[in-house]
Structure 1
């Protein structure tokens, strides 16, 4: 895979140690199947570790994240709405009154039974967070409501909405920075309800995995970093009431490099698209990836395809990006590369090629 080089320390230690290194290393120059979108409206601050989710009307909400300043890591508590159309993206900063969430990074957002929910993360001064919030947007203003927390604090976990209107939360780190392996279900019917899911033996405890939903009501988990290092395993989980069955999906063909803190989303053809990430558990000490792969899962089998350039520009190798699907195409925002944090927006081009035969 193509990589961007940067020798740093682990990305999950205090970030002020990273600032002196930015701008000292090279970024891969190969083109890829991404097109950078021209931005209008207000200017989004560069960031990494933010969360996004797509609404029913095709707009996207983004909250939080972090960036590196001269005095160290700065964690954000802002809410943005973005609209993608005709090769451009329009940004609107959303104001909110009343009680609002604190700053955070490495949290997740998902639509649960038509309601936008945000859970967990890591905040300045408080560390690991366990709070759950609902947000309702009306034009350029929003109303936040804090709901029942359940799984305990977590950050760097995976979260995916599934077809029954609930969301699943897997893995992450707790207040002691210990890896988590538990699976929880979040439902929303008037009130929020958390259910711990008992399951068959599944993925090892990990952080920084990618988790998406599939059309058949299951969820997929790819990669992440754990006690044994960084992985490239692919798992499918299906629910039956308060129990779940995990199945490791057997894949044919060449596999992506093991990675963590990568971007992941589901495409219109129900294929999972992954981009970037770190191939090493010590995130800052290794190159960061700029490759993109597609996997189609059929039952317990899968086929991976590396996607190669035809036209378009390059997204630099980076970690802690946010990716969502908007009208069947992938949209990527921000992240951390060898050049620092980004505020750019990219859309996956349909003319990207598979590997030559």
Structure 2
């Protein structure tokens, strides 16, 4: 996903040029704004900015926000894309989250939404809530720390208005508070501090949190909450971690969360990052083309192979521009959104994509908190996402559709001859001829094929790559094992993917092992990186001790010594040259 397209002499590749032209030549009747037409008498949510929102099961859900003169809100609305109607969500639990503005922190996972923290007008919060769409009930997973009450009690129904005594009212309140206690779960671990304006997503049954503002400091810490075990954990993120910030725009796909911009208390940001949620590894993405200017309180959504940003605040103006990032070319392009009934510039808006339209609601335009509702058609036709990889992954699991069986560590693995042969010269030779008679397998032979010198789990990962061209959730150890397997099965792209995975976690403790493995299995790029790392860290006792392991590979030891001597000689020559040059200048004066 992060591979750059090759550039031509002008610095813009043909693919990037086509990407720009595709946006410029889109039919303008499709790239246009329009107000969302609501049925007569339809409920319209009050004005708000900084509301939390998510799209689940054909509805846009919106909670809380800042209502201007009315303060922070705790109301809850849903908009049906089928009926074009807003309605207030009926909450059937005795408790619900209190008033707050969250800047879009509700996350949908199946039929559940999760809401963390925010700001209630006087206090920054760190409570965690879950709303079940099916039961229409809120559950308080974690109260805000330091005894801060963040719950609103839903009043018990009064069947005799005006006749309920004060004692019965108090009794109902006590009962509701008792039920609140039973509806909370036991949470353990390192709990994040209070904050708002952060990034939050749900991935693999974990609620993940990054950055924000706690009322005093801007943050770039990272946490995960396991939704099955109720355990918080501080994440030791890897890679190029974004600096401290609050209120960036963010969006998530199946594997990555992307963040753009934000504010660190001094300046607005314009940088752009992706975090691999399977490894918590951050990468700063290139901002080629017409990238968004520095801003925060803006929105970010993914549609197709593009990520769109809209609006925000640059410190002077509320913005109304839209920019698109193409994942295939790593190129930003400005989207012409001047057609139709264009919304005013705004920040802290609700923005969600449904089918092929971007919907925005409310926000703040610099003078007024809004409750207008617009949509922007992104594509003329909603083409469903490709299901090829998913389908091929299913094919890998289907024994009834297989026509070849392997045995690895005594366990059967079923696969498809033709697919393996097309994807790998090794398997083509094995299954359709070309290997020695002792290895080659006749097409009509149904006997299982023994595969040696590889573990069952690693062989499954090799098959996953052959079927889908990707490998998911690769640990360090699995990456090393796959590097070896890629050489065994002659899979150059898999080898490159393994090298890219392993180079991110090179450290003094493992660099010698990486060097040996990359040398033995012809991973030249990784070998070069390992050698350069060793040369930079020759003074490390751990690296120095690890050099003893190179007795089995004396050529590597010679290469390190040769490179080290060359580097020192170059440094000495450079120093002498600088001295001579400096003397010459001095004499001229």
Is TM-score (shorter-chain normalized) higher than 0.5? yes
Distance (whole Å) between structure 1 residues aligned to residue 78 and residue 129 of structure 2: 17
Distance (whole Å) between structure 1 residues aligned to residue 294 and residue 110 of structure 2: 33
Deviation by residue 1:27-58 (Cα, 9 ceiling, x = unmatched): xxxxx832210224322101001010111x21
Tell whether 2:282 aligns with 1:246.
yes
Query: C-alpha root-mean-square deviation of aligned residues, in Å?
Result: 2.2
Aligned to 1:74: 71
Distance (whole Å) between structure 1 residues aligned to residue 119 and residue 338 of structure 2: 39
Tell whether 2:323 aligns with 1:293.
yes
Aligned to 2:245: 206
Aligned to 1:148: 142
In the TM superposition, residue 204 of structure 1 has moved relative to its aligned partner by 0.6
Q: What 5-or-longer segments of structure 1 have no aligned partner?
A: 1-31, 281-285, 353-357
Aligned to 1:60: 60
TM alignment of 1:110-149, pairs within 5 A: 110-112=107-109, 114-125=111-122, 127-138=123-134, 142-148=136-142
Aligned to 2:388: none
Tell whether 2:346 aligns with 1:318.
yes
TM-score, L = length of structure 2: 0.48
Tell whether 2:46 aligns with 1:45.
yes
TM-score, L = length of structure 1: 0.77
Tell whether 2:121 aligns with 1:83.
no
In the TM superposition, residue 227 of structure 1 has moved relative to its aligned partner by 4.2
Q: Secondary structure at the match of 1:250?
A: coil
Q: 1:279 aligned to 314, 319, 327, which one?
A: 314
Distance (whole Å) between structure 2 residues aligned to residue 152 and residue 326 of structure 1: 33
Distance (whole Å) between structure 2 residues aligned to residue 270 and residue 323 of structure 1: 18
Aligned to 2:211: 171
Deviation by residue 1:294-350 (Cα, 9 ceiling, x = unmatched): 11234xx72111100363211111110011122243211110113411112211213
Comparing both structures, which one devotes a greater share of its residues to helix? Answer: 2
Aligned to 2:477: none
Q: 1:266 aligned to 302, 309, 315, which one?
A: 302
Q: What 5-or-longer segments of structure 2 have no aligned partner?
A: 1-30, 144-190, 381-589
Q: 2:100 aligned to 104, 110, 113, which one?
A: 104
CA contact (8 A) 2:112 2:133 kept: no
Distance (whole Å) between structure 1 residues aligned to residue 55 and residue 265 of structure 2: 33
Tell whether 2:256 aligns with 1:256.
no
Aligned to 2:34: 35
Distance (whole Å) between structure 2 residues aligned to residue 184 and residue 120 of structure 1: 13
Deviation by residue 1:40-97 (Cα, 9 ceiling, x = unmatched): 4322101001010111x2112110011222xxx5110001111124xx7310101324
Q: Which structure has the larger Rg? A: 2
- With a CA cutoff of 8 Å and minimum separation of 6, indicate the structure with the bigger relative contact order: 1
In the TM superposition, residue 188 of structure 1 has moved relative to its aligned partner by 2.3
TM alignment of 1:185-224, pairs within 5 A: 185-189=224-228, 192-200=230-238, 201-215=240-254, 217-224=255-262
Deviation by residue 1:148-174 (Cα, 9 ceiling, x = unmatched): 363121101122344x34443211111
